[in-house]
Every structure is written in structure tokens, then in C-alpha cells.
Amino acid sequence: MPRTSKTRLGRRILVALRDPARTPRAQLRKAARIARLTGASIELFHAIGATPAPGPDPVAVHANRALKRLERQRCFSGLKVKSHMVWDYPPHEAVVRRVLETRSDFVIAASATHGLGQRLLLTNNDWELIRHCPVPLLLVKSTRDYVRPNIIAALDPFHVHAKPAALDHRLLESGAAMAGLLNGRLHAFHAYLPLVFSVIVPVDQGPLWLPREAEDAYAQAVTRAFHRLAQSARIPEGRRHLATGDVAERLAATVRRIHADIVVMGAISRSGLRRLFIGSTAERVLDLLRCDVLVIKPRGFKARVPRRRSPYTGPTLY
């Protein structure tokens, strides 16, 4: 086991549990696999979105018993595992506060199933956790175990979505660390729209026409930038996927074609309209993906979450 895997993926894993009595087994198995390979400890964490009542609380008693049962799961045999439960709200802030309190450096959460065909969809709490979690977040969407997994780093070499330039290198580093840890293969992906779609045109001007030479020059520049990034991570050409078209659809198609197990994506917390624009792209991507997603933040990212817990009376949410 290379030391770099332990260094980059951390030694304290926090497993955020939505409902300890209905926890996806894939979430536990994958946490155990990563912890076993890195030597990390595991904390099973659950937040109850209610103010504790005087005396024994039946919700808390039930959740605590479920957590203790999870600690004894066979997949955790030989690992250092503990559980922790708090009364806190909203749930994504509870997770972030616990990460900061325990200095956890890796979070594993799971998507919930909703609607027809038990489709995996992200809740509002999932999105807030994606935006605000200050450490790498592995979002488990697939029940498939990691067996020589294909891992895709979704890059943005021209930073059209305002990502910091250094974030692409962090995605490649994190993807390489996961691939080395799990004996997998790292791929690089980027999709872009033709130049004509990138030019802002007044509504009353009509359709825009660009010379073919301009489109060709733009495509060549994108291609060079993408291959330069992939080369920096020593990704062979056969594992580089450059496409023209909608990012969400082309990435989902690439995931299906190579049977990818994890997509590594960058996330930056936005506010107001800019966050809505960035989020609209990310939401389509994550909704279409049927594999796990590793979300990475830029270096120096700070969680904007109050350190004090918020009192709230309501249902169990995470």
C-alpha cells in the first residue's frame, strides 16, 4: 500500500447515515473496504433533527440501538469502528460540524431511492452537503462493489464553469489515489460545446455564424489543453475521453460505455444566481449518473457552517 493513498484519502472516515435502521449495505461495505486499505478509523454518524425531550427518547433509543448493531457488522471485523448520534439540524450542517469537531478527512454518504423504479435521486440535504462539506465526499449511488474499478476524473481545462485552475489537478490526484488504493484504472473526461454556443449574442441580432477556421482553432485548443492535463497524470490515450456535446449526457454515456464505478468531480460553493447556474449543470450530471461520485473541493475551501448546533423540533432527517 503506497503511503500516498493514506495521506490523500485520510485516516478518519465519517459515514453519514440518513437512517441507521435502513442503511444501504453498499455504503457500509465501501466504507469498510477503504478503511481496511488505508488503516483509517470509522465513525458511524447520525443526526436527529429534534430537540431532546426530558427522559428517555424513543427515537433516540431506537437510533442508538440500530447504530450499535451496525458497529457489529461483519464487514467491519478487525476495524476500529464507533458510532455517534446528536440532536442537530439541518442535517448537512450537522455532518459538517461533526467533520470539523473530529477532524475527519473523508465522508461517505448515500443517495436515497425515490419514485418509479426506485430511482436514485439527491435530496436537498445531499446538495447542501455537496456544496459545504470541506473534505472529500464519496456519494454512494451504486450497489456494485469495487473490483478493479474504472474511475473517471471529470475535467474542465478551460474552466468554463469558473472552477479554479488548480482544481483539475486535485481531481486527478484524488482519482489517482483512489485508483491506486482500489487497484483500479484512472480515466480522464471532458465535454465541450462548439464555440458558437459560447458567444453571447443580442436577442435581436439573429443566428450567429462563425468561420469554420474559428471553430477548428477552438477545438484544437480544447484538445491540446485536455491532453496536456491527462498527460500530467500519466493517463494513456486509450483512457482519455474527449467529447463534443452536453456535459451531463456525454459523461453519463461514457460511464455506461466503460462501466465506470466512480466519477471524480469538483464542487465550489456559490451564492445567489451564480450558484444556481453552476448547480443546474451539476444537478443534471449527478442525476444521470448511476455510479458513485467523489466530490472534491478546491484547496483552501472553508465551510460556511455555524459551529453551534441549531435547536429544532421536527422529524428524523439524517
Question: Residue-wise pLDDT tens for the chain (318 aa)?
Answer: 333 444 456 799 999 999 999 999 999 999 999 999 999 999 999 999 766 556 667 888 999 999 999 999 999 999 999 999 999 988 999 999 999 999 999 999 998 654 444 445 567 788 889 889 999 999 999 999 999 999 999 998 766 554 566 889 999 999 999 999 999 999 999 999 887 655 544 545 555 556 788 888 989 999 999 999 999 999 999 999 999 998 889 999 999 999 999 999 988 655 544 443 344 566 778 878 889 999 999 888 888 888 777 655 444 444
**Same domain, residue pair 311 and 290:** no
Cα–Cα distances (Å) from 174 to 25, 137, 228, 233, 295, in that order, read: 24, 11, 18, 11, 10
Assess whether 37 and 58 both reside in one domain: yes
Evaluate whether 222 touches 158 at the Cβ level (below 8 Å).
Answer: yes
Say whether both 174 and 291 belong to one domain: yes
The CA R_g of the chain, rounded to the nearest whole Å, is 21
Position 233 in a domain: yes
Same domain, 126 and 41: yes
Which domain does 101 fall in, by range? Answer: 1-134+302-318
Return the C-alpha cell found at 185. 484504472
CA distance 199 to 204: 15
Residue 154 shares a structural domain with residue 276: yes
Q: What is the per-residue pLDDT for 206? A: 52
Asked if residue 248 belongs to a domain, the reply is yes
- Count how many domains the chain has: 2
- Same-domain status, 101 and 194: no
Residues 119 and 200 in one domain: no
4 and 126, same domain (yes or no): yes
Same domain assignment for residues 289 and 206: yes
Residue 1 pLDDT: 35
Whether residue 205 is contained in a domain is answered as: yes
Q: Note whether residue 224 is domain-resident.
A: yes
pTM here is 0.86
Amino acid 287: pLDDT: 79
Please tell me the predicted confidence (pLDDT) of residue 127. 84
Burial of 243 (0-12, 13-18, 19+ CB in 10 A): middle
pLDDT at 273: 40
Tell me how far apart the alpha carbons of residues 188 and 258 are, in angstroms, rounded to a whole number.
Answer: 12
- Same domain? 62 vs 80: yes
Residue 89's pLDDT is what? 87
Residue 13 sits in a domain whose CATH number is 3.40.50.620
Q: Does one domain contain both 149 and 291?
A: yes
pLDDT at 300: 87
CA distance linking residue 310 with residue 59, whole number of Å: 19
Within-domain flag for 139: no
**Is 61 found in the same domain as 81?**
yes
Classify residue 165: in a domain, yes or no. Answer: yes
